[in-house]
Amino acid sequence: MRHRKTTVKLGRTWAHRNALLAAQVCSLIMTGRIRTTLAKAKAARRLADRVVTLAKEGSLTARRRVLAALRKEEPVRKLFAEIAPKMTDRNGGYTRITRLAGRRRSDSSPMAILEWVS
């Protein structure tokens, strides 16, 4: 039974899943939107919203926690300098998932776009 289990495993190990989600959130920060599967978009949204909430705090501790989660300095700099200041008036819901019509040809996965709410 999966009662109260919140983690979406995505068919990967713990380390692989964390690396995948960190890479997706870094791409989201750098480009503003990413095209991915619906399941990965929903999993990446949780991490993205969490790091924006930390970035809004703006402290050194928050910067170190975001850096530990994302593992790259350039996206962390951009998050703290550009994205977090735009989201100061929002209390959550920093990202939007838009489902795409059709499915991926290779495995028929439902696709989605994950982007920032502006």
Contact 61, 74 (CB under 8 A): no
Greatest CA separation for the chain: 45
Could you tell me if residue 1 is inside a domain? no
CB atoms inside a 10 Å sphere around CB 73: 10
Please give the pLDDT value at position 112.
98
Domain count, the chain: 1
Average of per-residue pLDDT across 94-102: 97
pLDDT surpassing 90 at residue 54? yes
Q: Is residue 8 part of a domain?
A: no
Residue 104 belongs to a domain with what CATH number? Answer: 3.90.1030.10
The pLDDT value given to residue 88? 95
- Write out the two tokens for 73: 């300095």
Task: Please name the helix (run of DSSP H) or strand (run of DSSP E) that holds residue 34, with its range, or none.
Answer: strand 33-37
Local structure of residue 88 (DSSP, 8 states): T
- CA dist 47 and 17 (Å) reads 12
pLDDT at residue 9, rounded to an integer: 96
70-97 residue pLDDT tens: 999 999 999 999 999 999 999 999 999 9
Q: What residues pair up with 34 in beta bridges, in sequence order?
A: 114
pLDDT at residue number 118:
82
- Tokens at residue 109, please? 């996965």
> What is the residue range of 49's domain?
14-116
55 inside domain: yes
Residue 36 lies in a domain: yes
Answering whether pTM is above 0.85, one says: yes
What does the mean pLDDT of the chain come to?
97
| Cα gap 13→114, rounded to integer Å | 23
Terminal Cα distance for the chain, rounded = 39
**Span 89-111, average pLDDT:** 96
- Mean pLDDT (whole number) for 50-63: 98
